[in-house]
Amino acid sequence: MFDELVKFFVVLLVVVEPLSLLPVLAGLTDGADDGYRRRMSIKAVGISSAVCLVFAAGGTTLLRVLGISVNAFKVGGGILLFLLAIEMVFARPSGVRSITPGEDAAAHHRGDISVFPLAFPLIAGPGAIATILLAFAGVSPGSLQFFAQVGVVVVVLAITLALMLMTGPVMRVIGVTGGAVLGRILGVLLAALASQFVLDGIRGAMAS
């Protein structure tokens, strides 16, 4: 179980990619005081936590109601994560996690940016939701593994919040270029993990 938890932690952390949020947050809160940035960060992570926990608790039921097997979702979810990895490596928007120029312009004129674009699609976007569904599919709510995986979600979101609250100092240290380089490296890792999800799904479907 420990190996699965580590894998889940790595995938979810790479998908959420907290460092990539910082330039966006800095841009959207440019000219605002630190209190506004702090409120938006806390609210965004709070909303993201609720979304993630809902899909964690109801993911297995949702797949069963829709008639989707775990193996089929591993293939589909793996492909989705692979598209996200391509976006990270080549810095080309795939629509999985990025926002369009029009959406970016609209966000700059919003008084509350916590729901859009911070919570969705940047934190709890399609990639994060797919990762959570993949991890919790087949896991019984209330089991030790379920609570351990919930703990992983909480840790990743706590790391995200901590970095968002330290946007200024962190950006001064790593800069935009440093964040971009790290994002590309993590994208390669995510591509490999996404491929493994697809292979596991195909292997499981052939064995059943």
- Rounded to whole angstroms, how far apart are CA atoms 124 and 103? 17
Rounded mean pLDDT of 25-49?
A: 92
Look at the chain and report how many structural domains it folds into: 1
Domain span at 99: 2-207
pTM above 0.75, yes or no: yes
Tell whether the model's pLDDT for residue 159 goes beyond 70: yes
For tokens 């940016």, what's the residue? 113
Contact criterion met (CB below 8 Å) for 69 and 206: no
Tell whether the model's pLDDT for residue 110 goes beyond 70: no
Of the candidate ranges 43-52, 99-108, 134-143, the one whose mean pLDDT is the lowest: 99-108
Residues in the chain: 208
Cβ-based burial of 113 (10 A; exposed 0-12, middle 13-18, buried ≥19) = buried
- At 107, the pLDDT band (50, 70, 90 cuts) reads low
Q: What would the pLDDT profile of 53-82 be if each residue is shown by its tens digit?
A: 999 999 888 888 989 898 999 999 999 999
Q: Give the residue ranges of DSSP H helices in 101-166.
A: 101-108, 126-136, 144-165
